[in-house]
């Protein structure tokens, strides 16, 4: 049973991390243009020189 | 630019230098940069996005520019002068796109906020459901393997810690809706959901405090998770429709050139046009407002508004409509109605009101739910009282059994029955290039008994083509095409297309509106223009070429029916559907097309409002109408019909107002969509029967107090799997 005391918190922390990551992607607007994101990967990366 | 306000020019005109149509939309950031939001028409793929973004990246003052392909909006930021906005818009327009500014605070509505809330609550519910389920599985297997009481209690407490806050957070969309319903003395599906979730969570907490064997945390939170997925998908489908009206309004926002009383020309936003202003409308631009022609003679392409194939000649005193295109020469127009009073704005209003009406359509699952909710409540209450009065139990165990009844009857399989079939059916239609845009579209398609078609662009290809190409000498065609290259008239364009690449455009060709083209001795145009005796054809799509030393040559044109139009109509009539034709075109053309395709009922010269009211009249007769159309003028009818389809070549607004959009140059998708819809309906009904069958077995057990969470979970997943398996059969059937 001692394993549980370690394993359950680990599972919960990992789950919370994933939840946090998802909420972060949501907040930073990564779901606002799903069609565009799918196409952008095909573009050559020749952004203007800084 | 001088300060016009100081010179006493009315305020409406003071905002008239070139960038002023944009000024209202420019946002200044604290770091000295400026930003603007634009709606971009004509962006269809990643390539368009790339073209715009890289063109703007070459502009040194532009800090960033990003196009959103899903919403067709773009945001740009730049440093330097605010007026640079005009350069940015010009850059985008020079690439062949139309860019119109918009205010995101108005456009980014309550709707998008709701969408984000649903996603957030869905994520939280998903996290909690997954973790609670892990713990529950251990508890269930613990029942079989002598898990000690302390461990089980620990598991329940941890479940409670995860589930209770998650239920409180993720349940809010349901709680709010249920409270509103109860406050209005109504019952909707959210009431039993709220009751089941809250009671299950509350009872489980009491059980946990008592150290009992069973808790229902997993049921309450996973129920929320699944329902939220459904809500979110539904919400997204609605969002697509909503954006259509927004884009249509943007079409009306073309900047206008106003001629001031002192004769000076100024560019202003369309919203600043007031009745009585004189407007200059150049060749190739759209009329910013309805109005009356004061000076000039030109041809106007009204196909977008009325669906007519051929442009109309307008002269001094004629009325022109906002949104139609000036293809002849420059006109001076005295503005009549502007903004909210134009025909275009009227179309938007019709679409909006029709869409509200349609959103009131209640899906089969929801209709069942209204009968189902009271039945479930009655059953649970009866169980509770029955166990206390007849069974002699204390109130806590009685309530526990009642909650088990609520959970077992919770419409999980019922909620899956429709979506599962929808997913399979829309996947199958998608492979055939048919896109379902609305969650209830399949159901409504299955109920259709009358099909109304638009003509131009729907039954036909939407552009005139030269007839009898083989009987015309190449030399004649080339001569005609070299004149025609100078004109934007659809018949002239058709000549140029037919002649192919061999055409060398003639210089110095003169165009006379409504008559034809002239170059020296050679004339190309109407019968009268070329001085040829006799009457024109009844459907008058002809051009004559007259030149010295040659016999006059006649070119006939026709907007040809789509290849499989006749077959499709025949197939639909064969299946017992009533078929009608509604067109904005002239009676002669419409009647010829109706005869060719075997359609008996047709009406010509229909305005958008006529089409709309014809659909309403059919509906009032109790007919379930499917409207198939493509033009802007069809948009209100598309939104008003019980179900609607648009070809992929249709105007944006029509595609958005339609439930179904189909690709390719054929009409076969209409028959196919109707076929798939009716088999989907059959499967949905079977699925309801299946899940009700499960309930008939599980509910008596629950009432008898024999259902533990394990049994409930097994029954739920078994019925869900059967329902999904049954839905998959739709994919196996041959088209």
B347-357: average pLDDT: 64
Query: Could you tell me which of B443, B457, B365 has the C-alpha nearest to residue B626?
Result: B443
**Closest residue of B to A42, CA-based?**
B46
Angstrom distance (rounded) from CA B291 to CA B242: 29
B699 confidence band (pLDDT: 50, 70, 90): confident
Q: What is the mean pLDDT of residues B246-273?
A: 68
pLDDT band at B609 (very low <50, low <70, confident <90, very high): confident
Q: Of B732 and B204, which is predicted with more confidence?
A: B204
Query: What residues of chain A lie within 8 A of the CB of B120, using their CB?
Result: 23, 26
Least confident interval from B366-380, B472-486, B681-695:
B366-380
Which of B62, B68, B147 should we substitute to test contact with A (largest number of A Cβ atoms within 10 Å)? B68
Among residues 1-50 of chain A, which lie with CB inside 8 Å of chain B?
A: 1, 4, 8, 11-12, 15-16, 18-19, 22-23, 26, 31-36, 38-40, 42-43, 46-48
Residue B412 pLDDT = 58
Contact B154 A4 (CB under 8 A): yes
Instruction: Give the mean pLDDT of B81-104.
Output: 81
pLDDT at B16 over 70: no
Q: Which of B20, B190, B301, B454 is catalytic?
A: B454
Contact between A12 and B131 using a beta-carbon 8 Å cutoff: yes
Nearest CB partner across the interface for B50, out of A4, A19, A43? A43
Pick from B41-45, B50-54, B297-301, B518-522: least confident? B41-45
- Judge whether residue B18 has pLDDT over 70: no
> Partners of B68 in the beta sheet?
B73
User: Locate tokens 């609305």: which residue?
Assistant: B438
Q: Which chain A residues are within 8 Å of B116, Cβ to Cβ? A: 26
Percentage of residues of chain B with pLDDT beyond 90: 9
Q: Confidence band (pLDDT; 50, 70, 90) for B521?
A: confident
Residues of B in contact with A31 (CB under 8 A): 119
Tokens 């107090």, residue?
Answer: B705
Average pLDDT on B668-675 reads 90
- Nearest CA of chain B to the CA of A36: how many Å? 5
B363-377, B581-595, B621-635: lowest mean pLDDT where?
B363-377
Mean pLDDT over the full length of chain B: 78
Distance from CA of A18 to the nearest CA of B (A): 8
The arithmetic mean of pLDDT across residues B8-29, rounded, is: 53
pLDDT of residue B169: 94
| pLDDT given for residue B271 in this prediction | 65
Tell me the chain A residues in contact with residue B57 when contact means C-beta distances shorter than 8 Å: 47-48
What is the structure's pLDDT at A20? Answer: 94
DSSP collapsed to 3 states, B558-597: ECCECCCHHHHHHHHHHCCCEEEEECCCCHHHHHHHHHHH
As a whole-number percent, the residues of chain A with pLDDT over 70 amount to: 84
Query: Where residue B245 falls among pLDDT bands split at 50, 70, 90?
Result: very low
Which of B69, B124, B132, B142 to mutate: most A Cβ within 10 Å? B69
Complex ipTM > 0.90: no
d(CA B91, CA B209): 68
CB contact under 8 A, B69 and A39: yes
- Integer Cα distance of B727 and B418 in angstroms: 9
Q: Which residues of B519-557 are buried (b: 16+ CB within 10 A; e: fewer)?
A: beebbbbbbebbeeeeeeeebebbbbbbbeeeeebbbbb
Q: What are phi and psi of B35, to 5 degrees?
A: -135, 155
Give the pLDDT mean for A20-46. 81
- Asked whether the beta carbons of residue A39 and residue B119 sit closer than 8 angstroms, the reply is no
Higher per-residue confidence, B236 vs B184: B184
CB contact under 8 A, A19 and B116: no
C-alpha Rg value of chain B to the nearest Å: 32
Going by the DSSP 8-state scheme, the letter that residue B290 receives in this structure is -
Q: How far apart are CA B706 and CA B408, in angstroms?
A: 12
Q: Is the pLDDT of residue B619 over 80?
A: yes
Of the listed ranges B33-42, B210-219, B401-410, B444-453, the one predicted with least confidence: B401-410
pLDDT, position B20: 55
Higher pLDDT, B169 or B379: B169
- Nearest-CA neighbor of B671 among B727, B729, B626? B626
Among B340, B330, B337, CA closest to B294:
B330
Whether the CB-CB separation of B506 and B481 falls below 8 Å is answered with: no
Which of B55, B74, B120, B127 to mutate to test binding with chain A, by most A CBs within 10 Å of its CB? B127
- What pLDDT is recorded for position B350? 66
Q: Does B252 score more than 60 pLDDT?
A: no
Which pLDDT score is estimated for B449? 93
The answer, yes or no, to whether residue B496 has pLDDT greater than 80, is yes
| Chain A residue nearest residue B120, CA to CA | A23
Least confident of B318-322, B336-340, B405-409: B336-340
CB contact under 8 A, B71 and A1: no
- Determine which of B2-11, B66-75, B296-305, B710-719 has the lowest per-residue pLDDT on average: B2-11
Which three-class secondary structure state does DSSP give residue B185?
Answer: coil
Q: Report the distance separating Cα B411 and Cα B537, nearest Å.
A: 64
Tell me, yes or no, if B454 is annotated catalytic.
Answer: yes
pLDDT at B156 over 70: yes
pLDDT grade, residue B535 (50/70/90)? low
B709-732 vs B217-251: helix crossing angle, rounded to 10: 40
Mean pLDDT across B653-676: 82
Q: What's the pLDDT at B710? A: 62
Three-state secondary-structure class, residue B293: strand
Flag the least confident range among B120-129, B237-246, B376-385, B572-581. B237-246
At residue B101, the pLDDT reads 79
At residue A49, the pLDDT reads 47
Q: Which residue from B132, B363, B350 is spatially nearest to B248, judged by alpha carbons?
A: B350
From first CA to last CA, the distance across chain B in angstroms is 66
With a cut of 80, say whether residue B194 has pLDDT above it.
Answer: yes
Name the token pair of B135: 């713990």
Cβ contact, residue pair B46, A43, below 8 Å: yes
Mean of the pLDDT values across residues B442-466? Answer: 86
Cα distance between residue B85 and residue B98, in whole Å: 14
Looking at residue B136, what is its pLDDT?
85
The overall average pLDDT reported for chain A is: 80
CA distance B57 to chain A (A): 6
What is the DSSP secondary-structure string of B479-510?
HHHHHHTT---HHHHHHHHHHGGG--PPSS-E
B632 against B127, higher pLDDT: B127
Cβ pairs A/B, distance under 8 A? 56
* Whole-number pLDDT of residue B140: 78
Inter-chain CB proximity B154 and A47 less than 8 Å: no
Model confidence at B541: pLDDT above 70: yes
- Across the interface, do B123 and A42 touch by the CB < 8 Å criterion? no
Query: Are the C-beta atoms of residues B558 and B467 closer than 8 Å to each other?
Result: yes
Residue B659 exposure: Cα atoms within 13 Å on the Cβ side:
30
Among B45, B124, B131, whose Cβ lies nearest the Cβ of A11? B131
Q: Worst-scoring range by mean pLDDT, B131-135, B392-396, B624-628?
A: B392-396
Q: Cβ neighbours of residue A5 under 8 Å, at least 6 residues apart?
A: none
Q: What percent of chain B has pLDDT over 70?
A: 79
Q: How far apart are CA B363 and CA B438, in angstroms?
A: 11
CA B653, distance to chain mean position in Å, is: 7
B229/B122 Cα distance (integer angstroms): 7
Chain B neighbors of A18, CB-CB under 8 A: 127
pTM: 0.60
- Dist CA B425 CA B438 (whole Å): 13
> Given an 8 Å threshold on Cβ–Cβ distance, is B46 in contact with A47?
no
| Burial group, residue B152, by CB count within 10 angstroms (0-12, 13-18, 19+) | buried
Residue B312, strand partner residues: B300
**Short-list B670, B121, B717, B695, CA closest to B408:** B695
Residue B308's pLDDT band (cuts 50, 70, 90)? low
pLDDT of B359 reads 56
B728 against A8, higher pLDDT: A8
């Amino acid at each position: 049973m001692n394993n549980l005391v370690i394993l359950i918190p680990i599972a919960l922390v990992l789950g919370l991390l994933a939840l946090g990551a998802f909420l972060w992607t949501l907040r930073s607007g990564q779901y606002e243009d799903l069609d565009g994101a799918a196409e952008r990967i095909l573009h050559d990366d020749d952004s203007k020189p800084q | 630019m001088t300060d016009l306000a100081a010179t006493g020019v009315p305020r409406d005109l003071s905002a008239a230098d070139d960038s002023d149509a944009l000024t209202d939309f420019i946002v200044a950031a604290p770091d000295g940069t400026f930003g603007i939001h634009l709606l971009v028409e004509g962006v269809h793929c990643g390539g368009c996005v790339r073209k715009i973004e890289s063109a703007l990246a070459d502009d040194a003052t532009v800090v960033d520019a990003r196009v959103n392909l899903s919403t067709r909006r773009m945001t740009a930021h730049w440093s330097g002068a605010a007026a640079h906005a005009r350069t940015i818009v010009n850059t985008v327009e020079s690439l062949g796109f139309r860019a119109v500014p918009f205010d995101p605070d108005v456009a980014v509505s309550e709707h998008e906020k709701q969408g984000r809330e649903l996603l957030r609550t869905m994520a939280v519910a998903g996290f909690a459901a997954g973790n609670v389920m892990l713990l529950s599985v251990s508890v269930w297997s613990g029942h079989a393997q002598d898990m000690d009481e302390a461990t089980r209690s620990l598991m329940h407490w941890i479940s409670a810690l995860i589930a209770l806050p998650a239920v409180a957070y993720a349940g809010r969309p349901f709680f709010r809706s249920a409270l509103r319903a109860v406050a209005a003395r109504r019952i909707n599906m959210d009431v039993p959901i709220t009751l089941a979730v809250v009671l299950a969570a509350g009872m489980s907490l009491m059980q946990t405090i008592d150290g009992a064997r069973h808790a229902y945390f997993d049921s309450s939170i996973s129920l929320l998770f699944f329902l939220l997925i459904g809500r979110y998908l539904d919400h997204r489908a609605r969002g697509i429709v909503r954006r259509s009206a927004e884009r249509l309004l943007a079409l009306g926002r073309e900047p206008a050139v106003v001629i001031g009383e002192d004769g000076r020309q100024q560019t202003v936003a369309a919203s600043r046009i007031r009745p009585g202003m004189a407007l200059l409308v150049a060749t190739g631009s759209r009329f910013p407002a309805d109005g009356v022609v004061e000076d000039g003679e030109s041809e106007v392409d009204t196909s977008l508004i009325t669906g007519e194939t051929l442009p109309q000649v307008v002269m001094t005193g004629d009325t022109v409509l906002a949104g139609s295109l000036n293809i002849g020469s420059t006109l001076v127009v005295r503005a009549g109605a502007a903004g909210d009073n134009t025909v275009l704005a009227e179309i938007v209003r019709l679409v909006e009101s029709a869409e509200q009406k349609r959103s009131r359509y209640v899906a089969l699952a929801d209709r069942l739910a209204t009968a189902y909710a009271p039945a479930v409540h009655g059953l649970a209450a009866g169980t509770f009282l029955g166990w206390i009065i007849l069974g002699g139990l204390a109130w806590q165990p009685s309530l526990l059994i009642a909650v088990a009844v609520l959970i077992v009857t919770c419409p999980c399989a019922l909620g899956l029955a429709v979506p599962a079939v929808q997913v399979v059916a829309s996947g199958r239609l998608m492979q055939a290039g048919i896109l379902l845009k609305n969650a209830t579209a399949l159901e409504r398609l299955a109920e259709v008994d009358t099909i109304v078609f638009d003509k131009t662009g729907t039954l036909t290809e939407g552009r005139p083509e030269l007839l009898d190409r083989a009987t015309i000498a190449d030399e004649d065609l080339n001569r005609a095409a070299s004149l025609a290259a100078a004109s934007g008239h659809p018949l002239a364009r058709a000549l140029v297309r037919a002649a192919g690449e061999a055409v060398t455009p003639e210089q110095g060709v003169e165009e006379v509106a409504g008559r034809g083209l002239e170059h020296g001795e050679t004339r190309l145009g109407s019968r009268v223009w070329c001085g040829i005796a006799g009457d024109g054809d009844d459907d008058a799509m002809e051009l004559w070429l007259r030149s010295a030393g040659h016999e006059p040559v006649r070119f006939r044109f026709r907007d040809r029916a789509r290849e499989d139009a006749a077959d499709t109509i025949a197939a639909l009539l064969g299946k017992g559907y009533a078929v009608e034709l509604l067109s904005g075109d002239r009676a002669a053309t419409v009647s010829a097309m109706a005869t060719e395709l075997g359609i008996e009922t047709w009406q010509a010269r229909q305005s958008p409002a006529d089409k709309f009211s014809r659909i309403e009249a059919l509906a009032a007769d109790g007919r379930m109408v499917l409207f198939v159309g493509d033009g802007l003028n069809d948009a209100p009818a598309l939104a008003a019909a019980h179900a609607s389809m648009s070809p992929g070549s249709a105007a944006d607004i029509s595609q958005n107002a339609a439930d179904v959009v189909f690709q390719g140059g054929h009409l076969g998708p209409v028959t196919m969509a109707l076929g798939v819809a009716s088999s989907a309906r059959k499967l949905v009904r079977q699925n309801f029967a299946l899940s009700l069958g499960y309930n008939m077995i599980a509910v008596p057990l629950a009432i008898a107090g024999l259902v533990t969470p394990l049994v409930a979970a097994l029954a739920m997943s078994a019925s869900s799997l059967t329902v999904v398996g049954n839905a998959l059969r739709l994919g196996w059937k041959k088209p």
